[in-house]
Structure 1
């Protein structure tokens, strides 16, 4: 500016340049050479800087009428070399290499919105390797560019932490690449137009793996429902040692999805009821939830834990389970491992674990419906001495008032000072004795049935086994349709074969009959 001030000593000299192609500065042999100011006729451009041979050459500043400017190196009248460019309208700033007025070579662009690009340029566009930080999306891309777009190999990290490393074509993921989500999801495979497309392996954040062909971001063959292999209805006896379910994940055409593994499946059950409940089934009736467990043959105390024996509170009319693991005041659930006796053999039952599919399939063996929990005993009645005295006096009064006409009342004196009263009525005591014996027999029969069916086996009737997709979070935000199996449980048939008795275990490998 010192050189300019030597030639522009006042505002009148500057004003004299307006509207004309005017130059004020150093010359050599009548040609602009050295330091000078040149104002163009349209007044939009003004150059202040070094000249050589009549051309802008060396360091200079080209100022535009809207406040934008370039300051840097000139060569033979062109912007070439290192320089700084500012755009007043957008606030963008570039510092780096230029060639014939265009950003070419290494340079840094700071955009007005906060975005930043550091890398190689060609004719004012990203070209080659560079790093782009996008302020609007928060993502950072480092890799190859072509014609201002991501093109070639590059790595992008999104604002939420998701990361993609792989091939790009014209700004979109295309080719081979790996995506790693912040939630743990990983996809390795082929891409097209920014979507998973082609052969690829997806490890979902639920733990599920899908290794298959993909089309526009979804599996080409996609599971839609759960199927239980075989008939939808079974008939078994209550002493069946255990059912085996083969569970499949299929598409609408019934094709097993062999490319997926790790889908989480839950087996639950319900007992048919006449009431309307939330548990509706495709068999035309509702069910109430009930337990279903696995019969374990190779029981070891270290693997299965028996629950504490339920204790009954005599002060309450309902069951109170005092085990710390079963804090409830209702009928206890068989949600823990238990042991029962069937046909003289100990059978250990444990809850059905969540299944995990392998190549679209899962198998559950030894499934049984456990016996219902024992009914709570009648509350204990504790009588005080005063209660006993009141009852005795009441009985004596009742005896005197209820003595029928014609009955005899005799007094017998025994040894000592005690007197015994003996009431003799005309009512037949033999009939009363028979009624008492009959009631006792019926009670014993009921207890025998309860011991057999309740303590050893489940109750007979219709059960429904339900297999549900509990993958969490749901794979591709969708859950499969559940599968239902109707199981009719009947009493065991008596065998006439020598040595067989009802309640004994069926041989290994036995299967339920289909009806």
Structure 2
């Protein structure tokens, strides 16, 4: 009976035999027909070089020792398309090897019991690379990671997450060096942002602990200034709790002004009401209960030893700026570039003209080219920014908002009596430049800014935004008082300081 069994077993083997044992080269098909071995044998055991094939197309080819996969070899998995070439121990991936997966991932380095373990280099399916220490298939220990977006990290890892001390060099030029936890900035660290903002201090969950959350204009919500008098706006950066910002510097803040939208009477002409509605669609909402339209702001110039200074040059101001925006001084002002009158993103507000008249519209071509624009942008030093020697500019000659006000007053007057031959009852008086494009009809050139309520707005224009988030815009109500009040006040002081005359 034993002889028959031995004969049946031998019928599944074709090859060399010694002492009735497989020895030398031979092919053996296992009883379950799933495995097939082709290679060297020694005293009935797979030993030497051979190839073990599986019915699904998978295989191992390499070294065998006393029946076990041991040494160098190659393994292919038909189900996944993955392949490995390297060292084996006890049939498992162990030692140095290269694993190439069908999804494009490639690992070259140390293995232990079938897992990445030790030093290695990994290129993932997205083309990102990691070189460093691994533990149980995860990045663990010290390593360097290069991301697809250009970011590079070098430092500590814990089970596939950045942890401990590390340096991140972002593709946009930003650099962070400090402590990490769960892939986020956490602990003591310093960031130099590509926008020029720097922060050094404590971080928690990826955000500065004590970083800026809001801006506050010093002096309260209401500022008062006399006509044609300069003023200063000081902005403080604060945390969410209202405390002083510490460790941060370099934000770029932009200041602008807006004038209160007039309330036209219901009896105004339909044309004026339509124009007012068009302007209001692009007005800026303030926290003071009214809307404003951008108004030109400028900086007072001083004379120097070289001679008289150039006349004050206002910031860019657009009557029809896009909804929700403050008076736009283009970020290119930081480089000193400006193209006057080039913006035309607002709707036309009358006369076929785009609603972007700047203060320079009233200048001649030669004067416009010779003007150097004032930059409305300032960088923060620690927790503050100062805008000094600011002035509201005289209204431009074609400032539509003032024209609406002038024309509304004109229309509320008694209509002129009909002259001879004037038999058209629907005829209306001329509406001036805002409808006809004729600036001589209604001209405001040369007038001072009017007393009344304006708004000062300070916007965070740091580009790109620090940590992807800009600060909320800060507002202050600016009340412009008539110049005669200032003169009267000065006269009163002079009278009080005059010595008494005795006769």
TM-score by length of structure 2 reads 0.68
Q: Which residue of 2 aligns with 1:364?
A: 387
Instruction: Encode CA deviations 1:313-365: one digit per residue, 9 max, x unaligned.
Output: xxxxxxxxxxx9568989963369x9xxxxxxxxx996343011122321111
Rounded to whole Å, the distance in 1 between the matches of 2:132 and 2:385 is 44
Of residues 169, 173, 180, the one that matches 2:169 is 180
Residue matched to 2:47: 57
In the other structure, the counterpart of 1:493 is 487
1:470 alignment counterpart: 461
Give the aligned partner of residue 102 of structure 1: 92
1:209 aligns with 2:203: no
Write the distance in 1 (CA, Å) between the matches of 2:183 and 2:379.
31
Is the CA contact (8 Å cut-off) linking 1:226 and 1:250 kept in structure 2?
A: yes
**Contact 1:125–1:147, Cα closer than 8 Å, also in 2:** yes
**What runs of 5+ residues in structure 1 fail to find an aligned partner?**
1-15, 309-323, 339-347, 377-452, 501-515
3-state SS in 2 of match to 1:90: coil
The residue correspondences of 1:422-461 to structure 2 (distance < 5 A) are 458-461=449-452
Instruction: Report the secondary structure of 1:476's partner residue.
Output: helix
Q: Say what the alpha-carbon RMSD is for the aligned residues.
A: 3.5
1:244 — aligned with what?
A: 232
Post-superposition Cα deviations, 1:371-409, rounded to whole Å, max 9, x if no partner, equal 334699xxxxxxxxxxxxxxxxxxxxxxxxxxxxxxxxx
Partner of 2:422: none
Q: How much has 1:63 moved relative to structure 2?
A: 1.6
User: Where do 1:330-341 residues align within 5 Å?
Assistant: 333-334=358-359
Instruction: Verify the 8 A CA contact 2:189 2:200 in the aligned structure 1.
Output: yes
Question: What whole-Å deviation, never above 9, does each CA across 1:274-332 have from its counterpart, x for those lacking one?
Answer: 24731222222332321222223354879976699xxxxxxxxxxxxxxx956898996
Q: Does 1:253 align with 2:241?
A: yes
Report the alpha carbon displacement of residue 27 of structure 1 after superposing the two structures with TM: 2.9
User: What is the distance in 1 between the residues matched to 2:309 and 2:143?
Assistant: 52
1:67-106 Cα deviation digits (max 9, x unpaired): 2111111112221111111111111111111112111111
Offset of residue 455 of structure 1: 5.3
More divergent stretch after superposition (37-46 vs 260-269): 37-46
Local SS of the residue matching 1:42: coil
The 1-side partners of 2:127 and 2:194 are apart by 23
Q: Is the 8 A contact 1:142 1:154 kept in 2?
A: yes
How many angstroms apart in 2 are the aligned matches of 1:289 and 1:301?
A: 34
Kindly state the Cα deviation for residue 498 of structure 1 after the two structures are TM-superposed: 10
Task: Tell me how far 1:210 sits from its aligned partner.
Answer: 2.8
Inter-partner Cα distance in structure 2 for 1:351 and 1:218: 34
Equivalent residue of 2:284, what SS? coil
Contact 1:304-1:350 within 8 A present in 2 as well:
no
Counterparts of 1:81-230 in structure 2 under 5 Å?
81-135=71-125, 137-230=126-219
Q: Secondary structure at the match of 2:32?
A: coil
**Aligned with 2:487: secondary structure?**
coil
- The total of aligned residue pairs comes to 383
**Equivalent runs, 1:346-365 vs 2, <5 Å:** 351-365=374-388
**Larger radius of gyration, structure 1 or 2?**
1
Distance in 1 separating the partners of 2:251 and 2:45: 74
Contact 1:465/1:486, CA 8 A, preserved across alignment = yes
Q: Is residue 279 of structure 1 aligned with residue 284 of structure 2?
A: yes
Paired with 1:140 and 1:295, the residues of 2 have a C-alpha distance of 56
- Contact preservation (8 Å) 1:17, 1:39: no
| Offset at residue 17 of structure 1 (A) | 8.8
CA pair 204-298 structure 1, distance change in 2 beyond 3 A: farther
**Residue 57 of structure 2 aligns to a residue in which SS?**
coil
Partner-residue secondary structure (3-state), 1:493: helix
Report if the CA contact (8 A) 1:21-1:41 is conserved: no
Separation (CA, whole Å) in 1 of partners of 2:491 and 2:7:
127
User: CA-to-partner distance for each residue in 1:90-133, whole Å, 9 max, x for gaps?
Assistant: 11111111112111111111112222111111111111121111
User: Gaps spanning 5+ residues in structure 2: where?
Assistant: 1-5, 264-276, 314-338, 344-352, 364-370, 400-443, 496-503
Q: What secondary structure is seen at the aligned counterpart in 2 of 1:296?
A: coil
